[in-house]
Amino acid sequence: MSVSYTGSNTYFLFENQTTNGNSAPVSVNYSNKVAIVKFWGTFDGAYVTLQTLAPQTNPEVWLDVPDLAGDELTFESNGQRTMQDLVQNEQVRAVLSNAGAGTTVNVSMEIY
């Protein structure tokens, strides 16, 4: 899967995603960045998690991004979250799980 880039620091991790899968990762090229991540569409039982890549792992190890309480950050409906203090070269991806027959999910990430 590819990530589309609008040229204004906004990346679309999923566009009308209908099946389970991982988005291509987005690389944060600057330190101390903030990202606004938006989720919308028809979930039909599906949920989206965000993951970051553990450094220097082979094979790659992806880690779920927690919320401030330390719980897995999972989205089952339209909404948005702020990811703070992203480090330079951080790799972020979205994971869609439990897709239903009517699932059509979008995820965007704006880095500023």
For 29, the 3-state DSSP assignment is coil
> Residues 63-86: pLDDT tens digits?
998 877 777 888 999 999 888 777
Amino acid at 17: Q
Write 29-34 long-range contacts (CB < 8 A, 24+).
29/88, 29/89, 30/88, 30/111, 31/86, 31/87, 31/88, 32/85, 32/86, 32/87, 33/86, 33/111, 33/112, 34/82, 34/83, 34/84, 34/85, 34/86, 34/111, 34/112
pLDDT at 99: 98
What is the mean pLDDT of the segment spanning 85-103? Answer: 90
With a cut of 60, say whether residue 1 has pLDDT above it. Answer: no
DSSP 27: E
Judged against a pLDDT cut of 90, whether residue 59 lies above it is answered with no
Domains observed in the chain: 4-111 (2.60.120)
Segment 5-49, tens digit of pLDDT: 555 688 999 999 999 999 999 888 776 778 889 999 999 999 999
How high is the pLDDT of residue 108?
Answer: 94
